[in-house]
Amino acid sequence: MPKGAKPIDISGQRFARMLVISFVGIERHLARWRCRCDCGVEKVVAGKELRNGDIKSCGCQKTEHAQKMGSVSRPRHGHSKNGKSSLTYTSWDGMIQRCTNPKDERWRYYGGRGIRVCERWLKFDNFLADMGERPHRLLTLDRIEVNGNYEPGNCRWADWHTQRINQRPRQKLEASSAAWK
């Protein structure tokens, strides 16, 4: 915000789940506003972040979405050290993403073709109880029946060679005779 400029009053306006209560002041050239989230939490945020849609809630919306998807934004069960997830958590999260997130680059090979994660394994703690820790960095999660779901009894920790033997046949491209004429 330019020196001497006054912020436009956005008191009383709503931005997603945030209701602007009052102007707080200028910090680092940004107008700061006290807002109340629909969940009741009050938070001071930059007006620019509200208007751009960068802030939609106090954080409760992200938490609700993560709970619906069966994941959390950060592991809360001892599987994160110095901001880095454990190998076991990384394997679980990869399974969840490729089976439930259409934006994941591998989704079409998993969720897109009907491969699902059993409801129990949507929670990391249950997956960990059933599969145990990933025993080695060179072992990854493998489905025994390649067309089956991720569920107890159909998954194991396997090396690259075992997984290569166990993969489904590649789809062969059938060239039309017209393309070769």
Residues 6+ apart with CB under 8 A from 61: 16, 17
Give the count of beta carbons closer than 10 Å to the beta carbon of residue 8.
9
Task: Please report where in the chains the tokens 């910090």 appear, as a residue.
Answer: 27
Query: Residue ranges of the domains in the chain?
Result: 14-55, 66-166
Instruction: Give the C-alpha distances (Å, rounded to integers) separating 136 from 110, 141, 174.
Output: 24, 11, 40
pTM check: above 0.85 = no
Digit-coded pLDDT (tens) for 13-43? 999 999 999 999 988 889 999 999 888 888 8
Encoding tokens for residue 101?
Answer: 């997130």
Per-residue pLDDT tens over the stretch 60-97: 777 666 666 655 444 455 666 666 788 999 999 999 99
Going by C-alpha positions, the residue among 81, 82, 88, 83 that lies closest to residue 125 is 88
- Could you say which DSSP state residue 73 is in? S
- For residue range 138-152, what is the model confidence (pLDDT) as tens digits? 999 999 999 999 999
Q: Phi and psi at residue 66, in whole multiples of 5°? A: -60, -40
**Residues in Cβ contact with 72 at an 8 Å cutoff, skipping those fewer than 6 apart:** 63, 66, 124
Q: Is the pLDDT of residue 171 over 90?
A: no
